[in-house]
């Protein structure tokens, strides 16, 4: 019996209601568990999960036993657990290294990867915050200090990951900085340009270089990086930042071309504006003295998709997709998460009743 039970799945309470309502569909609509029993099972699993996080295979066993004692058929129970497993542990057994993961998008992604069964190494220049984040994310998170503008730090972070977990399956080169330069090309500060390029571009390609070093011999791996909508269209940010993100999208295509023959996928994600510390710092320079809540509102109101805002978790979901086997044939791709912002422009014609 124990071999038939999917092991080590880690159910998350948010996913369960969805799973239980999809239950009939997931099993071809031919299922002997009715909705009330399914809900009952769901609440049992959640209670177990709350009591002893991390011992889910034991929970599955316990729930299986209790369902069996209720006289339910073995096949229907197992097919349901398989769906559960597929939805909750998409990175089971995988090891990820994420740069810039002490905060914002990187932190949200680290948390998402861990809740999907991965072990994550958080590499960040902020040592104290990085340690706090790793502690917060639990035993499957480890912190290593790393300045991505130093190749030796990136190389060390990769070697540390291998020495700790014996493999590297996912490299997410996410660290990046904004730049505080005058907006006109005439006043471009080339020292700032070099500094930003060093982190946003050189840091990304160095991450790919060292990840490839350990991924090529295994003939498998997924490399991700964070580009931006500012790397797709001009006019959305200062030249330096925008150019750095255009470069990231280019690097992805160039490196994907080489690594495809080694079975390694390379992709990036282009988020819309999200009020993380990075953006809020920049916003407070543009709007000095304006309170933080207002700056968050201004950032979010810039989006075009009504009724929702771009959040770190949206990028974490995109990263989970690209890192997982769900995207096993996706490479060289820029996954734009912008609510449609860069897909269209509207003609600002006056309303017909205002034209005479």
Ligand X SMILES: NC(=O)c1ccc[n+]([C@@H]2O[C@H](COP(=O)([O-])OP(=O)(O)OC[C@H]3O[C@@H](n4cnc5c(N)ncnc54)[C@H](O)[C@@H]3O)[C@@H](O)[C@H]2O)c1
Which residues contact ligand X (rule: CB under 6 A)? 99-100, 102-106, 124-126, 146-149, 174-177, 199, 226, 228, 271, 273-274, 276-279
Closer by beta carbon to ligand X, 80 or else 338: 338
- Catalytic residue, from 61, 135, 241, 321: name it: 241
Closer by beta carbon to ligand X, 9 or else 226: 226
Strand-pairing partners, residue 225, are: 173, 268
Report the DSSP pairing between strands 119-124 and 95-99. Answer: parallel
- Helix, coil or strand: residue 56: helix
Smallest gap, in angstroms, from Cβ of residue 23 to ligand X? Answer: 36
Q: Tell me, rounded to whole angstroms, the distance of Cα 264 from its chain centroid.
A: 18
What is the rounded distance in angstroms from the CA atom of residue 50 to the CA atom of residue 291? 38
| 105-to-157, 206, 254, 278, 307 alpha-carbon distances in Å | 19, 20, 24, 10, 21
- Helix, coil or strand: residue 240: helix
Report the DSSP pairing between strands 264-271 and 119-124. Answer: unpaired
Closer by beta carbon to ligand X, 45 or else 154: 154
Q: In what order do the strands lie in the sheet with 264-271?
A: 141-145, 119-124, 95-99, 170-173, 221-226, 264-271, 334-337
What is the rounded distance in angstroms from the CA atom of residue 338 to the CA atom of residue 330? 19
Smallest gap, in angstroms, from Cβ of residue 145 to ligand X? Answer: 9
Smallest gap, in angstroms, from Cβ of residue 140 to ligand X? Answer: 19
Closer by beta carbon to ligand X, 7 or else 313: 313
DSSP secondary structure, 87-136, as one string? HH-TTTT-EEEEET-SSHHHHHHHHHHHHTT-EEEEEES-HHHHHHHHHH
Report the DSSP pairing between strands 264-271 and 334-337. Answer: parallel
Closer by beta carbon to ligand X, 60 or else 196: 196
Closer by beta carbon to ligand X, 88 or else 276: 276
Does residue 241 have an active-site annotation?
Answer: yes
Closer by beta carbon to ligand X, 106 or else 221: 106
What is the rounded distance in angstroms from the CA atom of residue 274 to the CA atom of residue 38? 37
Strand positions, DSSP E, 209-302: 221-226, 264-271
Smallest gap, in angstroms, from Cβ of residue 96 to ligand X? Answer: 15
Spell out a b/e string for 251-275, using b for 16 or more CB atoms within 10 Å of the CB, else e.
bbeebbeebeeeebbbbbbbbbbbb
Backbone angles phi, psi at 346, to 5 degrees: -110, 145
Q: How many CB atoms lie within 10 A of CB 169?
A: 21
Smallest gap, in angstroms, from Cβ of residue 290 to ligand X? Answer: 17
Active-site residues, by number, are 241
């Amino acid at each position: 019996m124990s071999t038939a039970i999917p092991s080590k799945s880690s159910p998350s309470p948010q996913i369960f209601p969805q799973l239980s309502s999809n239950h009939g569909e997931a099993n071809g609509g031919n299922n002997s568990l009715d909705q009330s029993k399914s809900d009952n099972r769901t609440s049992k699993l959640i209670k177990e999960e709350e009591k002893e996080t991390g011992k889910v295979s034991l929970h599955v066993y316990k729930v299986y036993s209790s369902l069996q004692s209720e006289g339910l058929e073995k096949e229907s129970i197992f097919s349901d657990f398989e769906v559960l497993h597929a939805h909750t542990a998409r990175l089971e057994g995988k090891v990820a290294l994420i740069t810039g993961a002490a905060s914002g998008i990187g932190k949200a992604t680290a948390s998402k990867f861990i809740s999907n069964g991965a072990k994550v190494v958080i590499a960040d220049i902020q040592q104290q915050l990085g340690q706090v984040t790793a502690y917060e994310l639990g035993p499957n998170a480890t912190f290593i200090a790393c300045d991505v503008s130093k190749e030796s730090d990136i190389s060390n972070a990769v070697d540390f990951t291998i020495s700790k977990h014996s493999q590297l399956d996912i490299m997410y080169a996410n660290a990046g900085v904004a730049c505080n330069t005058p907006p006109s090309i005439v006043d471009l500060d080339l020292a700032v340009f070099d500094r930003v390029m060093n982190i946003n571009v050189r840091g990304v390609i160095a991450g790919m270089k060292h990840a490839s070093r350990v991924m090529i011999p295994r003939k498998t791996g997924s490399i991700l990086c964070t580009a931006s909508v500012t790397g797709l269209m001009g006019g959305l940010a200062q030249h330096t930042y925008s150019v750095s993100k255009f470069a990231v999208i280019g690097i992805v295509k160039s490196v994907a071309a080489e690594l495809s023959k080694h079975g390694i996928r390379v992709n990036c994600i282009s988020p819309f504006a999200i009020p993380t510390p990075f953006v809020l710092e920049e916003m407070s320079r543009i709007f000095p003295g304006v309170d933080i809540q207002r700056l968050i509102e201004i950032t979010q109101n810039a989006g075009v998709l009504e009724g929702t805002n771009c959040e770190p978790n949206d990028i974490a979901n995109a990263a989970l997709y690209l890192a997982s086997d769900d995207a096993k044939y996706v490479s060289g791709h820029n996954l734009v998460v912008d609510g449609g912002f860069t897909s269209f422009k509207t003609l600002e014609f006056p309303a017909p009743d205002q034209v005479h």
